[in-house]
């Protein structure tokens, strides 16, 4: 069967990694359900309401095939000591759980459950746009070597409903706009029936990387997606961000209305259910967090 024909009927599975993701996971899953009928959530030992929110979604969306796994005690690379635990230092979180290990666990479970499917890695604070499936399908059809090909999808960086985050020019990235992430683990995909595996990034071992390390993926696609965005990345929707001061290099905020970009949407804040609301002081860069439940 030609790959273009296979793409029309191949199953898709969305893998979501969670770790104290209570504020955003329900909204993340609500949005993902617009595109995916199969969702696998792997939780790394959350201590907040994450488990309850996942169960609530499963109860409220019976037509979506959702499976949740507690991977708290599983260490896929026990001999590899990480410097970070889900973005924090080992001094404050000495559990030796990193993005790399969480990503490996999620992918291995998804691959076991769906050995011949397109696996989509979705971060728990990314809210996908509607009607993106056909756009994705057209990109999958372009794969010349599905066993080693991948896609990294552009997402828009949002501080909150009001503000977008403006990044700086990066010599290694191609971006449609400076308020977008041109493709990373925030939202990407590979074929579970192919050769790609996941392991520690050679330069930043706490972050995940696709192997074999191929230029066509790592420098040709990652950080290079200038397509219209596929969703919003809510960079600061964490309770731990309360009182956080955005560093000077991150303080470039611009209002959603001021940008006036028809490719963007902030409707997710009205359509989906979040457990917190984040506000930002444009003058001081200080973030505040309000509980919504």
In the predicted model, is pLDDT for residue 190 greater than 70? Answer: yes
In the predicted model, is pLDDT for residue 253 greater than 90? Answer: no
Write the pLDDT tens digit of every residue in 193-224: 999 999 999 888 888 999 999 999 999 999 99
> Containing H/E element for 39?
strand 38-43
Mean pLDDT across the stretch 106-132? Answer: 98
**Would you state the pLDDT for residue 220?**
96
**Would you state the pLDDT for residue 170?**
82
In the predicted model, is pLDDT for residue 93 greater than 80? Answer: no
Residue ranges of the domains in the chain? 3-291
* DSSP code of residue 22: T
Q: Is 135 helix (H, G, I), strand (E, B) or coil?
A: helix
**Would you state the pLDDT for residue 90?**
47
Q: What is the pTM of this model?
A: 0.94
CATH of region 3-291? 3.90.550
Closest CA to 228 of 160, 180, 194, 290: 180
Burial grade of 279 (CB within 10 A; 0-12, 13-18, 19 or more)? middle
């Amino acid at each position: 069967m030609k790959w273009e024909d296979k793409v029309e009927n191949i199953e898709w599975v969305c893998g979501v990694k969670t770790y104290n993701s209570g504020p955003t996971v329900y909204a993340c899953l609500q949005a993902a359900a617009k595109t995916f009928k199969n969702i696998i959530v792997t939780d790394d030992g959350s201590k907040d309401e994450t488990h309850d929110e996942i169960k609530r979604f499963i109860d409220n969306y019976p037509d979506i095939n959702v499976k949740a796994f507690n991977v708290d005690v599983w260490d896929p690379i026990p001999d590899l000591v990480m410097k970070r635990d889900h973005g924090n230092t080992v001094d404050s979180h000495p559990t030796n759980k990193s993005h790399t290990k969480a990503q490996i666990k999620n992918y291995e479970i998804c691959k076991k459950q769906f050995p011949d499917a397109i696996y989509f890695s979705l971060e728990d604070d990314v809210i996908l746009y509607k009607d993106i499936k056909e756009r994705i399908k057209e990109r999958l059809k372009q794969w010349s070597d599905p066993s080693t090909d991948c896609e990294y999808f552009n997402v828009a960086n949002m501080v909150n409903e009001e503000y977008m985050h403006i990044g700086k020019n990066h010599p290694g990235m191609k971006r449609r706009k400076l308020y977008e992430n041109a493709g990373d683990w925030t939202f990407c995909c590979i074929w579970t029936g192919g050769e790609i595996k996941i392991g520690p990034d050679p330069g930043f071992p706490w972050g995940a990387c696709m192997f074999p390390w191929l230029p066509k993926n790592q420098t040709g696609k990652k950080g290079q997606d200038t397509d219209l965005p596929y969703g919003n990345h809510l960079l600061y929707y964490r309770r731990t961000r309360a009182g956080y001061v955005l560093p000077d290099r991150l303080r470039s905020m611009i209002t959603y209305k001021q940008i006036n970009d028809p490719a963007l949407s902030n409707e997710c804040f009205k359509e989906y259910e979040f457990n917190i609301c984040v506000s930002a002081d444009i003058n001081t860069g200080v973030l505040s967090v309000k509980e919504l439940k």
